[in-house]
Amino acid sequence: MAAGSQSNQTVVKGAQSAINRFKYEIANELGLNVQPGDYWGDLPAAQCGAVGGHIVRHLIELAERQLAGTR
């Protein structure tokens, strides 16, 4: 991949706003007091990473439930 190219483009139009809301929902569940538009640079990398990790876990769980329901 070329330097500076972006591969994290949203596949489903309109999903970016839902993902962004989900990010703040997860952050609040983890006890991080951040609001949309807040600067996350003051948070330790481990806390920001935990938000991403929990998002992935929830999305995998959702996909597993959908797959189990269709088979």
Span 23-42, pLDDT tens digits? 999 999 999 989 888 898 88
Q: Which amino acid is at 52?
A: G
Look up the domain containing 62 and give its range: 15-34+43-70
CB 26, CB 58: distance < 8 Å: yes
- Is residue 30 assigned to a domain? yes
Confirm whether 6 is domain-assigned.
Answer: no
> Is 19 inside a domain boundary?
yes
Residue 29 lies in a domain: yes
Q: With beta carbons less than 8 A apart as the criterion, state whether 51 and 26 touch.
A: yes
Beta-carbon contacts of residue 58 (< 8 Å; ≥ 6 apart)? 22, 26
Query: CA-CA distance, 3 to 5, in Å (whole number)?
Result: 6
Q: What is the pLDDT of residue 13?
A: 83
The answer as to whether 62 is a domain residue is yes
Whether pTM > 0.75 for this model: the answer is no
Domain count, the chain: 1
